[in-house]
Amino acid sequence: MRPKLRAKRDAFLDRIGTRPLIMGVLNVTPDSFSDGGRFAAADAALAHAREMAAAGCDIVDVGAESTRPGATPVTEAEEFARLEPILTVLADVDAPLSVDTSKAAVAARAAALGAVMINDVWGLQHDARMAETVAEAETAVVVMHNRTEKDERLDIIADVRRFFDRSLALAARAGVLPGRIILDPGIGFGKTSRQNRDCITRLSELRDYGRPILVGASRKRFLGSLTGDGSEGTLVGTVTVSLAAIAAGASIVRVHDVSEHVTALKVFQVLTSSRSR
């Protein structure tokens, strides 16, 4: 990894734990569930990344393949064809870059173009080369829990722990440094509404891993099930769940609406720091 990128990576990792951090979502796909197609053009993606950085996001997460339920998979070549022009123009954005991919070859090429973190929604378990790729590229990595099918009988936290144990074993064998690993319980991925709620309310049960926890609940469908009014698309639902996740132990929230979360977290910090004095 180039010295400038290493400095960006380390600065981001060093901020974890000093305050809640915000990962801003930049989808460059035509079919993402909330903003498909809006930022597929390089100039639109650059403008939005700069806007999020100026608003205070700590890292920009770029995704070129939709991971929503029912999305059509794309080939490695197509995913990188979407990513390459975007990463090229984002090189001068102040915030560090993460790339949301489960393909090792895409991750390697993204790292070469400036990504300092790989956000893998299959937690190093989809592509056998991913753990080695992350180790070789020296990027940080988000290990997210996922399932191919929902199973309402599961104790979801127990399942998350089994998954993380496998992923962390893969990372260790490949030589990924523990200090570069972030865990994500995978809100909205292969879980019932109740299990999504459990992943937030029982987040403290994952603290013993000693790794930072990222929660991405932004605009997810299960938010509507909390009230029964289909409010998953509303900002207030996302902000509320993000604050609940931070209160339960999350270090990072992955969101579409950066400026609103920056403001909410500032207020949250003032209130919680006053309570602790």
Active site residues: 220, 254
User: What is the per-residue burial (b if ≥16 Cβ within 10 Å, else e) of 80-95?
Assistant: bebbeebbeebeebeb
User: In whole angstroms, how far apart are CA 148 and each of 122, 143, 186?
Assistant: 10, 16, 12
User: In whole angstroms, how far apart are CA 248 and each of 36, 47, 77, 189?
Assistant: 31, 33, 39, 20
User: Pick from 72, 75, 77, 48: which is nearest to 62 by CA?
Assistant: 48
Residue corresponding to tokens 């560090």: 96
**Neighbour count for residue 217 (Cβ, 10 Å):** 25
> Residue 131: enclosing H or E segment and its boundaries?
helix 130-137
